[in-house]
């Protein structure tokens, strides 16, 4: 039977059973290993190579729970809160506020228990010692100066009192004759303000509409742009390193030089658009939202203008129309994005735009709110600029520069002369993908939409 079963036959007789001999197992001593984790500088955007510590929201020794905000990091575009992925105690801070660290390098140490804090501090000290013992790096190139990232913290001599700025300006001919745009004069009458008290910011000191609006809103001196004194806190002759945002802007502008671009200008009559804006301005609609909406509707009919070429061998027809609009901030330039601008109504776009501008100036934009643009607008019209060219942002197909809408003497179809408000727009496009006829056709469509803007409010 055992041969057929291929196993040994075990008799049932108890006399033949073996009594098992117990074996004593030796248990090795329990070793508890301390869990000390490093907190690394995160990559908050695809272009970020280093970050600056803006502030630590927790102090050494504080107890942390998973998801707690620990530190605020300045990336190349915004300030963002960094959360912890573990429970524990913030044992040691390696990179202090205002200092810069490379992406992936440790900025702090986290201990699992309070008893492990001294060990974490020791590890942090040894890490800092080894870093300081490393040979000094070679001097950085001019594009990334190896200087302190916060020159404003260096003690500077007290600024001398700013000189008094006279109320007259180059366009006033000694104060006898005030030079202002017709619309500015009209606004001055509506707001009942004296043009002689306003310092113009237009060409040669010309008073433009925004100067009157700013003066009427504040009731004080003219906008700061009309002053000739240097801003407070600026030490003339000093060398100032780029901020993180300025470094990113510099890198992008240099990268854009590798793209073959061309420019096309167009004149658009804005009487109907101005009338629409005046009608719905009280409902919170902004001119930026109107222009973004008009641009998005034109892009629907010209998808190649919304395309992008990234590898030099192919291009992509982007599935969404996301209009990025350039915004100047204290630290540089950023382009908040109005996503799906062709599908969102102009009232919602206006509310979203105000929200994005507030977040941009507070440096609280999330990456998807500034790096998802497929077409860019740059508007200097509010500064009285009549025309300019914009530099193409890398990764996009085109950018449109928008000048001021100004009264212009034009010939009508019946041969008479008349006044119309007109603005100049200039498109800079990637010539690898977009050609002159494409831009011209797009601008014709945009002109039709702006000159008959009934579709903008649907």
- Name the residues annotated as catalytic: 431
> What's the CA gap between 397 and 308, in Å, rounded?
5
> What's the CA gap between 47 and 373, in Å, rounded?
15
Question: What interhelical angle do 182-191 and 209-218 show, nearest 10?
Answer: 20
> What's the CA gap between 323 and 376, in Å, rounded?
6
Q: What are the backbone angles phi and psi of residue 199, rounded to the nearest 5°?
A: -95, 120
Run of H or E including 101 = strand 100-102
H-type helices in 281-316, by residue range? Answer: 287-301
Please say whether the beta carbons of 97 and 54 come within 8 A: yes
Nearest to 42 by CA among 26, 58, 53: 53
Under DSSP, the state recorded for 174 is T
Provide the strand spans (E) within 272-374: 307-308, 316-317, 323-325, 327-329, 332-334, 337-338
Kindly report the CA angle at 362 between 359 and 363, in degrees rounded to 5? 80
Q: What are the backbone angles phi and psi of residue 321, rounded to the nearest 5°?
A: -105, 100
Q: Which two tokens stand for residue 44?
A: 């908050």
């Amino acid at each position: 039977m055992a041969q057929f079963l291929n196993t040994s036959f075990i008799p049932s007789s108890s006399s033949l059973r073996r009594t098992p001999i117990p074996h004593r197992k030796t248990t090795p001593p329990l070793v508890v290993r301390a869990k000390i984790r490093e907190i690394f500088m995160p990559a908050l955007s695809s272009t970020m190579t280093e970050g600056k510590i803006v502030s630590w929201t927790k102090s050494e020794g504080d107890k942390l729970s998973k998801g707690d905000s620990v530190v605020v990091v300045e990336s190349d575009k915004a300030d963002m809160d960094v959360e912890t992925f573990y429970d524990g105690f913030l044992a040691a801070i390696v990179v202090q506020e205002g200092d810069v660290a490379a992406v992936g390098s440790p900025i702090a140490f986290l201990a699992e228990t309070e008893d492990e804090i001294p060990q974490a501090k020791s590890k942090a000290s040894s890490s800092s010692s080894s870093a300081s013992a490393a040979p000094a790096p070679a001097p950085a190139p001019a594009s990334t100066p190896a200087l302190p990232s916060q020159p404003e913290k260096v003690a500077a001599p007290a600024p001398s009192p700013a000189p008094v700025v006279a109320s007259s300006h180059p366009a006033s001919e000694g104060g006898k004759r005030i030079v202002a745009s017709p619309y500015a004069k009209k606004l001055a009458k509506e707001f009942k303000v004296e043009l002689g008290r306003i310092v113009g910011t237009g060409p040669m000191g010309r008073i433009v509409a925004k100067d009157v609006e700013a003066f009427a809103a504040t009731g004080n001196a003219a906008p700061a742009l009309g002053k000739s004194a240097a801003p407070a806190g600026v030490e003339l002759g000093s060398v100032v390193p780029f901020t993180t945002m300025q470094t990113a802007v510099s890198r992008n502008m240099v990268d854009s030089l590798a793209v073959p671009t061309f420019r096309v200008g167009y004149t658009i009559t804005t009487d109907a658009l101005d009338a629409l804006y005046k009608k719905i301005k009280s409902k919170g609609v902004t001119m930026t939202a109107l222009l973004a909406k008009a641009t998005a509707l034109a892009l629907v009919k010209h998808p190649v203008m919304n395309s992008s070429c990234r590898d030099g061998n192919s291009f992509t027809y982007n599935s969404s129309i996301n209009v990025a609009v350039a915004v100047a901030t204290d630290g540089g330039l950023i382009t908040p994005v109005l996503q799906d601008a062709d599908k969102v109504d102009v009232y919602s776009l206006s509310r979203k735009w105000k929200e994005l501008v507030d977040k941009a100036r507070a440096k609280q934009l999330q990456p998807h709110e500034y790096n998802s643009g497929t077409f860019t607008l740059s508007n200097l019209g509010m500064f009285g600029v009549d025309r300019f060219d914009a530099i193409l942002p890398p990764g996009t197909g085109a950018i449109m520069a928008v000048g001021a809408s100004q009264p212009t003497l034009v010939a009508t179809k019946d041969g008479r002369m008349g006044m119309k408000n007109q603005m100049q727009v200039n498109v800079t496009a990637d010539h690898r993908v977009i050609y002159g006829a494409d831009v011209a056709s797009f601008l014709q469509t945009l002109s039709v939409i702006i000159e008959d803007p009934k579709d903008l409010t649907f």
